[in-house]
Amino acid sequence: MTTGQLAAVVLAAGKGTRMKSDLPKVLHRVAGLSMLGHVVARVRDAGAMRAVIVVSPDQGGVREAASEAMPDVSIAVQERQLGTADAVGAARGALKGHKGPVLIVNGDTPLLRTETLATVVDATKAGVDICVLGFRAQNPFGYGRLITSEGGTVDAIREELDASDEEKAINLCNSGVIALRSADVMVLLDDITNDNAKREYYLTDIVGVARERGMTVGVVECGEDEVLGVNSRNQLAGVEAIMQQHLRAAAMADGVTMHAPETVHLCHDTKLGRDVVIEPNVVFGPNVSVGNGVAILGFSHIEGATIADGVTVGPFARLRPGADLRDGTKVGNFVEVKNATIETGAKVNHLAYIGDARVGAGANVGAGTITCNYDGAAKHFTDIGAGAFIGSNSALVAPVSIGDGAYVGSGSVISHDVSAGALAVTRAKQVEKDGWADRKRGTAKAKTRQKNSVKG
């Protein structure tokens, strides 16, 4: 690791027993991304050139989740959970030879802001040896308290179980985020003992150790919501709600209209153009990009889709991964699109399924049409040419190609290619029997009269 570069240590070894889950706590998702992924992305954006993730021995999938945000993360294993200082100590090998600043954060705080972390790191560059991120808690119970002198220097961090009544009255609390300018973090950690109520090695004691060595410790404050940690499903839901508020506010500030923003669910990576209108109860999953002037009508669900300018989607539409809607297209009521391109100006308006397909420019797909793309063993492709018209309630059995400008009659099952400009119809011949309906009704009425007569 190059001298002067920022390194981050992300503490992710907590088991999260209150989550009651087989999934490691930090891998639970907020706005479509793991909490760990959020934290790693924030430390990366704050300038960290490398991140070391500290995990317990049985935490599978952590590297993959962290790599979504930062491909070259390192993993350090905390063999036994002896406290947060011991967890940072597990990163000793990964930090060997590092001479730059170190930023330590918890992996279950997905609401952290890049700007806040950068401010903490910048404080160490400005002269303090250690900078702690603090917040004013409405109810400080359970948090470590920041013990400060009159000049604003942090003299100690006192955990709840070890605090005096006077110290418990302090509402300036520890967030768990610490930046150190010291060239040798591990030397400070080696002086930390477990002489406390829980018999653990607290990272927070690094402040007292540093002060005994004559080092300076400063504090940067942020809002309480920003450093909320997650230890239960209820807390996860609370953090999700705050994240959604942030994402919606940012989208509306950038020119998106939401008729009922509290009902719209966004993903961490949702990209929305200008003058996009989103009606109530729309859900965006991961990897969605929306162009300008798009209307997303109510109760639509979109993931893994690309939507160009001037498109109308919904209501009650579902766009699945690989859906590619080009300029001016329409995908309407109860239409599902998966791994398919809908080219410029094409329309799929009602009750249709378009999967593994291309719908050519200006084509019209009628209500109830499906592409039969799966034969029980493999997926196959359907190609619908430009300007083609697919009549309602048609089944296109892939692999099949409908030529440009071709016409498929309503109710047809198409299992062979259709030439450009041709008409394809596979319906059975209509048969009409004069007077049949009247005779049927008459017979039914006679049976009813006879039944009532017997009862009488």
pLDDT confidence of residue 300? 98
Mean pLDDT, rounded, for 106-122: 96
pLDDT tens, 228-238?
Answer: 999 999 999 99
* pLDDT > 80? residue 103: yes
Cβ atoms < 10 Å from Cβ of 364: 18
146: in domain: yes
CA dist 233 and 20 (Å) reads 8
Based on the fold, state whether residues 259 and 288 are members of the same structural domain: yes
Asked if residue 456 belongs to a domain, the reply is no
Domain boundary among 177, 210, 227: 227
Question: Based on the structure, what is the number of domains in the chain?
Answer: 2
pLDDT (average), residues 121-127: 90
Closest Cα to residue 353, out of 402, 290, 396, 300? 396
Q: Which two tokens stand for residue 208?
A: 């007292």
Residue 430, pLDDT above cutoff 50:
yes
Contact in structure between 419 and 404 (CB atoms under 8 Å): no
Whose CA is closest to 369, among 400, 344, 345, 328? 400
Residue 206 CB neighbour total at 10 angstroms: 26
For residues 203 and 239, membership in a common domain is answered with no
Same domain? 351 vs 369: yes
CA gap 121, 264 in Å, rounded: 35
CATH number at residue 237: 2.160.10.10
> What separation, in Å, do the N-terminal and C-terminal C-alpha atoms of the chain show?
99
The average pLDDT across 233-246 equals 97
**350 is a catalytic site residue:** yes
Q: Residue holding tokens 């609390």?
A: 173
Residue with the larger pLDDT of the pair 193 and 14: 193
Quick check: 410 pLDDT over 80? yes
118 pLDDT band, cuts 50/70/90, is very high
CA distances in angstroms from 1 to 97, 99, 100, 147, 297, listed in the order given: 7, 8, 9, 34, 50
Positive or negative, the CA dihedral 147, 186, 47, 57 is: negative
pLDDT digits (tens, 9 = 90+) for 19-45: 999 899 999 999 999 999 999 999 999
The region, left, alpha or beta by phi > 0 then psi within -120 to 50, assigned to residue 345 is left
pLDDT digits (tens, 9 = 90+) for 279-335: 999 999 999 999 999 999 999 999 999 999 999 999 999 999 999 999 999 999 999
Residue 382 has pLDDT above 70, yes or no: yes
CA distance 425 to 445: 39
Active-site residue among 246, 301, 350, 380? 350
Same domain assignment for residues 181 and 239 = no
Q: 311 is written with which tokens?
A: 């498109």
- Tens of pLDDT, residue by residue over 250-286, are 999 999 999 999 999 999 999 999 999 999 999 999 9
Give, in order, the Cα–Cα distances in Å from 338 to each of 125, 308, 312, 384, 413: 50, 16, 17, 15, 21
User: From residue 54, how far is each of 73, 88, 90, 168, 350 by CA, in Å?
Assistant: 11, 7, 7, 30, 51
Tokens of 89: 């100590």
Structure tokens at 220: 């940067």
Asked if pLDDT for residue 367 goes beyond 90, the answer is yes
Residues 214, 294: one domain? no
Domain containing residue 17: CATH number: 3.90.550.10
pLDDT greater than 50 at residue 1: no
Neighbouring CB atoms inside 10 A of 263's CB total: 15
The DSSP symbol for 205 reads G
Q: 236-248: string of b/e by CB count within 10 Å (b at 16+)?
A: beebbeebbeebb
Nearest to 225 by CA among 117, 138, 106: 138
* Pairing of the two strands 257-258 and 277-278: parallel
Q: What is the mean pLDDT of residues 143-162?
A: 91
The number of C-alpha atoms within 13 Å of 232 and in the hemisphere containing its C-beta is: 4
Same-domain pairing of 223 and 263: no
| Average pLDDT value over all residues in the chain | 93
Percentage helix, strand, coil for the chain under 3-state DSSP, each rounded to 5: 25, 30, 50
| pLDDT over 90 at 54, yes or no | yes
| pLDDT in the model for residue 10 | 96
pLDDT at 2 over 60: no
Question: Region 175-193: what's the mean pLDDT?
Answer: 88
Assign 456 a pLDDT band (cuts: 50, 70, 90). low
Same domain? 139 vs 268: no
In the block, residue with structure tokens 């998966």: 338
Residues 210, 336 within the same domain: no
Q: What is the pLDDT of residue 41?
A: 95
Q: pLDDT tens digits for 9-21?
A: 999 988 778 899 9
Q: In whole angstroms, how far apart are CA 30 and each of 21, 123, 265, 406?
A: 16, 29, 11, 47
Q: Which domain holds residue 216?
A: 6-227
Residue 179 and residue 307 in one domain: no
- pLDDT (mean) for 418-422: 98
- Let me know whether 286 and 156 are in one domain: no
- pLDDT at residue 448, rounded to an integer: 79
* H helix and E strand count, the chain: 9, 35
Q: Are 297 and 280 in contact (CB under 8 A)?
A: no
pLDDT of 451 higher than 90: no
| Structural domain ending residue among the three candidates 192, 227, 262 | 227
Same domain, 126 and 242: no
**445 located within any domain:** no
Judgement on whether residues 183 and 280 belong to the same structural domain of the protein: no
Q: How many CB atoms lie within 10 A of CB 437?
A: 9
